[in-house]
Amino acid sequence: MTPQTFIFFGPSGSGKGTQAKLLQEELKKRDPDRKILYIETGQRFRDLALGDSFTSKEIKKVVENGGLLPEFLPIWLWTSIMMEKMKGDEHLFMDGLSRQSKEAPILDSAVKFYKRENPTVISINVSDEWAIARLKDRGRNDDIDEDIKKRLDWYHKNVVPAIEYFKNNPYYKFISISGERSIEEVHRELMDRVGL
């Protein structure tokens, strides 16, 4: 099996993290000797905002006010992981990258720089109502109505244009899946559509 590359998109509550993990488990079964690099930026930013460096404090201010972090921060975060950890022959999973349209061509340049062939973009789509119900079920501290609405609005305004960039880029295989089903049903369709 050749190294696989997957870029996951989906709003909070869509189950994209769960689907990314299930797909990793399948790849481990089928290609047990190959390493998997999973880059997920959301939790890293939450951790960074808890620090006491000047940068951490500034990030916390922006996040608490529902603002948009400048593009250099997420780009710095995921590019530094790639530069430190990529070996070249691993399966690569990216979750929460390119969350603004200006980031999309930068991620595209990284995918091509690392000669990742046949990359697949997976967009898991759910309605806001579905996302809100799922987020309330998981009971995380920041899953209150106002914060959830801000995150979903932010997704529609900023992430959807980044998704369109990849959807319209012939270098990528683009898969759009409805996440408004059971985890198992979404996983089965995903496996079928990625050809595993």
pLDDT tens digit sequence for 32-76: 999 999 999 878 888 888 999 999 999 988 877 767 788 899 999
Residues 6 or more apart whose Cβ sits within 8 Å of residue 149: none
Average pLDDT estimate for 98-123: 95
pLDDT of amino acid 116? 97
Report helix, strand or coil for 189: helix
Q: What is the mean pLDDT of the chain?
A: 92
Looking at the structure of the chain, the number of domains it has is 1
- Per the structure, the complete domain to which residue 45 belongs is given by 5-194
Q: In what order do the strands lie in the sheet with 120-125?
A: 36-40, 91-95, 5-9, 120-125, 173-178
How far is Cα 40 from Cα 58, in angstroms, rounded to an integer? Answer: 21
At residue 98 the predicted structure's pLDDT band, cuts being 50, 70 and 90, is: confident
Give this prediction's pTM. Answer: 0.91
At residue 18 the predicted structure's pLDDT band, cuts being 50, 70 and 90, is: very high
Q: What pLDDT, in 10s, does the model give residues 114-164?
A: 999 999 999 999 999 999 998 888 777 767 788 888 889 989 999 999 999
pLDDT of amino acid 36? 97
Higher pLDDT, 43 or 83: 83
Continuous segment of H or E residues that includes residue 91: strand 91-95
CATH of the domain at 110: 3.40.50.300
